[in-house]
Amino acid sequence: MVLKYAEKVANLFQNNGFKKGDTVAILVDNCPEYTCIWLGLSKIGIISGLINTRITGDSLLYAITVIQSKAIIFGDNFKDQIVSIQNKLENVSLYQLTLEGDINSMDVRGPLNGISDSSTETHVCNFNDPVMYIFTSGTTGLPKPAIITNQKYLQIVTAMRAFIGFKPDDTIYNCLPLYHSSGTLLCNGQYLLGGNTIVMRKKFSASRYFADCEQYKCTIGFYVGEMCRYILGTSPENDIKPTKLRALTGNGLKGNVWKEFVSRFKVKQIIEFYAATEGNMGYVNSDNTIGSCGFVPVYIQHLQARIKCNEETGEPIRDAKGYCIRCKSDEPGLQIGVIKESLPISLFLGYTNKKETQKKILRNVFKNGDMYFNTGDILVMNKFGYLYFVDRTGDNFRWKGENVSTYDVEDAISKVIELNDAVVFGVKVPRTEGCAGMSVIVPHDNFDVDLFNERLKNRLPSYAIPVFLRVVEKVPVTGNFKLQKYQFRQEGYNPNVIRDPLYLYDAKLGKYIYLTSSVYQSILKEELNL
């Protein structure tokens, strides 16, 4: 069935003049046809651009054009989004995927009929040919299309199979978006290369996650980002503890959620891993060590390191000789991975934009001529080799002469507001050193800012309490359920622009006050001492 449908796709595009090296964008919700589409395109050497189904307008136009797509395959439900930008798309063919699974052209010639099931002329492809572009999540700016070659696809899927310990008879639950690497590579790759059964849901549902696992007798489930916290936020009255489920695997499960989540739903094993779509390294915590995002065996520790960096900018700190400084055990640092041409698994393929690719490469790190991939993440490794995520570089900031970890502050606030969404970042205040902390929160019902303040004081040192507080109804998330803070950081704390409730922490009073226009002006004029 999969190969037959893929053959139809290959025939359709080959007969319409597409050739090896062309790019075709895919804007389709989770469905069985999704994998068949990119598989069919790859058969004739076409690169698939997996487009985030959440984006519209200029963001959608950017994603399509940045990969130089010559065609778009889109689902019925995305027709209006495509039509809205159609006049800005030059020389881009449009193909609509119907509910029946047919792919029809929207060109003036009308639907394409008579698609052949016969074998296509397969183009010679090698390990280094790109098979797809997967966009990074874009939590700190515009997403970048990462290059996935045939080699990287095979490498990622098989490594995941070995480290997670998938068995041939495992039934895998996948509610992750297929435009993301976890959904398409780590999960669905297991049925292409391992023959596993996949139970696929169109979209994640916190209330249905374990119910689906039980109904379809799933043995492995995938999660990313904040999904486990959302599941934990559902009503206990409807709890289902799936009897066949032996493990959940994913990344982004925070320590403050881990224990309660496992205890409440009786999850036998959590297999947390650390990786990035464009990265050249990955680590797995396969023994239920709470809070760890991976384990680094002694025999591969020379392939990675944590180096000292500027807490605010994320720039590596170098010694008198110009080399980076390794962090010791239990010392947080910038995680990097060695790049060696002689070691294929360490290669960094980067993005379609060569300048962006070069930005992620550190050179002359420990000796002249060496190269390392810069993850942009601050991690810590203990003496046993367990890795723990600390923060993203650029998220940490200094206030009152102290380093503030946004991860730690978000963790504390999340507990205070009953696991609701919260993001923290630093904002500039005129003529003050460093950045003041600002938090954007989605409070629980009957939010009391004074009670929030008192509870927060019991969890954080005074310098880490957010100076600015913004209360919103919703914090946007990426398709892989990471909370976004980029837009909030750009908007800052100007009450003349922001319509959400804003508060300022008055250090003298020891409590939050409303941030009005007059108070804001006092800050700008340095009349109010923060």
**CATH (residue range 1-125):** 3.40.50.980
- Of 442, 316, 329, the closest CA to residue 387 belongs to 329
Question: So where are the chain's domains?
Answer: 1-125, 140-294, 296-392, 397-524
Q: Note the Cα 124 to chain centre separation in Å.
A: 33
Residue 337: per-residue pLDDT: 97
Three-state secondary structure string covering 196-255:
CEEEECCCCCCCCHHHHHHHCCCCEEEEECCHHHHHHCCCHHHCCCCCCCCEEEEECCCH
- Of 255, 254, 276, the closest CA to residue 137 belongs to 276
User: In sequence order, what DSSP letters do the residues of 298-311 get, joined into one string?
Assistant: GGGGGGEEEE-B-T
- How is residue 59 written in tokens? 């963001």
Topology of domain 296-392 in CATH is Luciferase; domain 3 (2.30.38)
What are residue 248's DSSP bridge partners? Answer: 221, 270
Vertex 350: Cα angle to 348 and 354 (nearest 5): 125
- Of 26, 52, 23, the closest CA to residue 37 belongs to 26
- By the 8 A CB rule, do 307 and 337 touch? no
Rounded CA gap, 15 and 215, in Å? 42
- Angle, in degrees to the nearest 10, between helices 406-416 and 255-265: 40
Helix or strand or coil: residue 120? coil
Residue 354: per-residue pLDDT: 92
Q: What is the pTM of this model?
A: 0.82
Residue 111: per-residue pLDDT: 38
Which residues, 6+ apart, have CB-to-CB distance to 433 below 8 Å? Answer: 398, 401
Three-state secondary structure string covering 453-510:
HHHHHCCCCHHHCCCEEEECCCCCECCCCCECCHHHHHHCCCCCCCCCCEEEEECCCC
Q: What stretch of H or E contains 94?
A: strand 93-97
Q: Which CATH architecture has domain 397-524?
A: 2-Layer Sandwich (3.30)
Write out the chain's pLDDT in tens, 530 residues. Answer: 788 999 999 999 999 999 999 999 999 999 999 999 999 999 999 999 999 998 888 889 999 999 999 999 999 999 999 999 999 998 999 999 987 778 877 653 333 343 455 555 666 678 899 999 999 865 555 678 999 999 999 999 999 999 999 999 999 999 999 999 999 999 999 999 999 999 999 999 999 999 999 999 999 999 998 899 899 989 898 888 889 999 999 998 988 789 999 999 999 999 999 999 999 999 999 999 999 999 999 999 999 999 999 876 789 999 999 999 999 999 999 999 999 989 988 999 999 999 999 999 999 999 999 999 999 999 999 999 999 998 877 777 878 767 788 888 998 898 899 888 999 999 988 877 778 999 999 988 889 999 999 999 888 888 899 999 999 999 988 777 788 888 898 899 999 999 999 999 998 899 999 999 999 999 998 788 77
Residue 141: per-residue pLDDT: 55
In sign, the C-alpha dihedral spanning 23, 25, 31, 33 is: negative
Residue 110: per-residue pLDDT: 35
**Neighbour count for residue 5 (Cβ, 10 Å):** 19
Helix or strand or coil: residue 148? strand
- By the 8 A CB rule, do 31 and 5 touch? no
Q: Kindly tell me the burial class for residue 437, based on how many C-beta atoms sit within 10 Å of its own C-beta (0-12, 13-18, 19 or more).
A: buried
- By the 8 A CB rule, do 232 and 422 touch? no
Q: Which CATH architecture has domain 140-294?
A: 3-Layer(aba) Sandwich (3.40)
Residue 108: per-residue pLDDT: 34
Rounded CA gap, 316 and 336, in Å? 11
Q: Kindly tell me the burial class for residue 61, based on how many C-beta atoms sit within 10 Å of its own C-beta (0-12, 13-18, 19 or more).
A: middle
Sheet order of strands, 130-135 included? 103-105, 93-97, 71-75, 23-27, 47-50, 130-135, 145-149
Q: What backbone phi and psi angles, to 5 degrees, belong to 465? A: -70, 125
User: In sequence order, what DSSP letters do the residues of 317-371 get, joined into one string?
Assistant: PB-TTS-B-B--TT--EEEEEEE-TT-GGG----BSSHHHHHHTEEESSSSTT-E
Decide whether 1-125 matches 140-294 in CATH topology: yes
- Helix (H), strand (E) counts: the chain: 15, 26
